[in-house]
Amino acid sequence: MSQFIMAGTSLLILFIIFVHALFYRATVLATPSCDGRRIHIRKLPRKFNTDILFKCSTVDPFSPNTCIHLRNSGLGPRTCNRSRSWYRTDHRFLEPFFHRRLLDYPCLVSDPSLADAVYLPYYAGLDALKFLHALEDDHEHYNRSVDHGKDLFDHLVRHQSEIWGRRDGHDHFLVMSRPAWDFSQSPGEYMWGTSFLEIPEFFNVSALTLESRSPAYQEHAVPYPTSFHPQNLFRLNRWISRARISSRPNLMLFAGSGGGVNAAPNIRQSIRNECTDRGDLCEIVDCSKEKCEHNPMKYIKPMLNSKFCLHPSSDTSTRRGVFDGIIAGCVPVFFENSTALSQYGWHLDEEDYKNFSVFIPKEDVVFGGLTLAKVLANIPLKKIAKMRERVLELVPRILYRRHGATVELTNIKDAFDLAIDGVLKKIKKRLGSI
C-alpha cells in the first residue's frame, strides 16, 4: 500500500516537473526586471532528485508514514479535508518543494550562458540519509560520508562541463534542508554528518540550509517551512486577522521535547520546571511522543492562545517552532542569538529583533535563578500588543506560499522569494571577489 502511495506521489511530482520543463523553455528571457536575476536549472540525472523521492520510506526509519508528506510537491497532505492553507509539512521535504517553486520562477533561462545563477536540483539532505543512517554491513555507505556529493561533482565536471567551468561553480546553488552541521564532518573523522560542505569540490557552491555554521562559509540559513501555505491573499489576510484578534489568556508556551529530569542543567529543563510549577502562566505542548510538525493542530491553537512562545535551543541552535510561532502571532522569546538573530538575515533584520522579540540570556535563567514569568509578566500589555503587531507583519516574509498562487499573493515576497534574492546577491558578491 505505502509502496503505491510512494510511487504515485513521486510519479505525480515527476509529471509536474516534466510539464513545467516544457513550459519554462518558452518563458520570456528579456523582461527588464529579470536583469541580474536569471536562473538556469541544471539538468541532473534522476538519481539526484526524483529517484531519491522513491526511497521516501527510508527517510525516517522511525516513522513509516513519511511518504505521505511528499504530497502537494513536498508540502505534505492537507491537515483535513476542508483545510485549504494548512498542511502536514515535514521540513526535510523543502528540497523538492523549493524545486517545484523554482519552476514557477519568472526569470528562468534554458541557456546556461545567460544565467546569473545555476540551481542544482539535487535533494542533498534526503540523499545524505543513506550515509547518516547506514548500517555497519552496508559497505557502500557506512563510514563513507566523506563520499557524499562526489558522484554529483563527477557529473557536473564531466557532462556539459562548460556550465560548471564558466565560473568554477561560483554561480551554482542548492538547497540542503537540514542544519549545515549535518554536512560538516571533517574528512577522516567518524562523527555525525557527511562532509559535503567540507570537501574542496563544493567550496565554491552556495547552499541554502535551515541553520548555518558560525562563521558560515558556503551556506546561508533560510526559514524552516511551517504548515501554513496559503494560495491567495484572502486566505493569508484572513489568517492574520484571526491571529490578531485571538484572546491569548496564557502568558507563555513551550512546544517541544527534551530537557529531561536527569540531564545536566539546561534551559529546556529550567523551562519545564517553571512551567510545571506555574501551570497558571505556562503551557507545555509535549512533542516527545509524536512529531508535532506532522500535526500542526496540536500546537497552533495553544500558540494562538499564548502571548509568548519560548524557543530554547536543543541539539542544534535553531528550531522550526520559531516560525510556527510567528505564523500564530506569538511573540518569540529567545535565549541565544544563534537561535535566529545570527541566522536568518535575509528574512529578519537584526535591528528589528528588539521590535518583535524578547531576549533572556539562558545563563541568567539556568544559573542565575531568574524566572521567565518575572520577566514576561512585567512587560506592559501595550508593549506586547505592539510586538505582536510587528510579528504579524513578518508573517508574509517567513512563510512559503503554495506553488501556483494567485498574482496578488505572488506580488508579496515570501520566504522563497527572499531566499532567491539573497542567494543571487551572495553569488554576485562571490563573483565580484574572485
The answer to whether 132 contacts ligand NAG (rule: CB under 6 A) is no
Position 5 contacts ligand NAG (CB under 6 A): no
Using CA atoms, how far apart are residues 129 and 59, in angstroms rounded to an integer? 7
CA 100 to chain centre: 15
> Is the omega angle on the peptide bond into residue 215 within 30 degrees of 0, that is, cis?
yes
CA–CA dist 225, 347 (Å, integer): 13
Check binding of 147 to ligand NAG (CB under 6 A). Answer: no
Nearer to ligand NAG, 54 or 334 (CB): 334
Comparison of 144 and 291: residue with beta carbon closer to ligand NAG: 144
- Going by C-alpha positions, the residue among 345, 335, 301, 325 that lies closest to residue 399 is 325
Of 301-309, 351-359, 370-378, 391-399, the window that binds ligand NAG (rule: CB under 6 A) is: 351-359
Minimal distance, residue 282 CB to ligand NAG, in Å = 24
Q: Give the interface segment with ligand NAG, choosing from 43-51, 126-134, 286-294, 346-354 (CB under 6 A).
A: 346-354
Q: Which of 194, 257 has the CB closer to ligand NAG? A: 194
For the CB of residue 283, give the shortest distance to ligand NAG in the complex, in Å. 27
Judged by CB, which is closer to ligand NAG: 10, or 185?
185
Residues 6 or more apart from 166 whose CB is under 8 A from it? 112, 113
433 binds ligand NAG (CB under 6 A): no
Sign of CA dihedral 227, 231, 233, 239: negative
Size of the site for ligand NAG (CB under 6 A): 17
Q: Is residue 349 within the footprint of ligand NAG (CB under 6 A)?
A: yes
C-alpha cell at 122: 539535487
Please compute Rg for the chain using Cα positions.
Answer: 22
The alpha carbon torsion through 32, 38, 43, 49 (nearest 10 deg) reads -120
* Cβ atoms of residues 174 and 119 within 8 Å: yes
Type and span of the H or E element at 42: none
Binding segment for ligand NAG (CB under 6 A), chosen from 8-16, 195-203, 251-259, 308-316, is 195-203
Applying CB under 6 A, among 147, 201, 286, 417 the residue interacting with ligand NAG is: 201
Which residues between 223 and 242 bind ligand NAG (CB under 6 A)?
A: none
**367 Cβ contact partners less than 8 Å away, ≥ 6 residues apart:** 265
Q: What ranges make up the beta strands (E) of 197-336?
A: 206-211, 219-221, 250-256, 282-286, 306-311, 331-334
Judged by CB under 6 A, the residue of 190, 192, 234, 367 near ligand NAG is 190
According to DSSP, the residues that pair with 175 across neighbouring strands are: 208
| Residues 315 to 344 in contact with ligand NAG, rule: CB under 6 A | 337, 341
- Please report how close the Cβ of residue 277 comes to ligand NAG at its closest, in angstroms: 27
124-132 and 94-103 helices cross at what angle (nearest 10)? 160
CA atoms of 359 and 365, how far apart (whole Å): 12
User: At its nearest, how many Å lie between ligand NAG and the CB of residue 300?
Assistant: 18
User: From the CB of 145, what's the least distance to ligand NAG, in Å?
Assistant: 10
The answer to whether 303 touches 330, Cβ cutoff 8 Å, is yes
Distance of closest approach, residue 353 Cβ to ligand NAG, in angstroms: 7
Site for ligand NAG in 66-105 (CB under 6 A): 81
Which set of grid coordinates corresponds to residue 244? 490578531
Q: Kindly state the smallest distance separating residue 12's Cβ from ligand NAG, in Å.
A: 17
In the range 153-182, which residues lie near ligand NAG by CB under 6 A? 168-169
Closer residue to ligand NAG, CB minimum distance, 215 or 279: 215
Listed in sequence order, the residues at least 6 apart from 24 whose beta carbon sits closer than 8 Å to its beta carbon are 41, 103, 108, 110
- For residue 81, the minimal CB distance to ligand NAG (Å) is 4
Which one of 2, 3, 143, 241 is in contact with ligand NAG (CB under 6 A)? 143
Give the whole-angstrom CA distance, residue 270 versus residue 367.
Answer: 9
Binding region for ligand NAG (CB under 6 A): 81, 143, 168-169, 190, 200-201, 203-204, 337, 341, 349-352, 355, 434
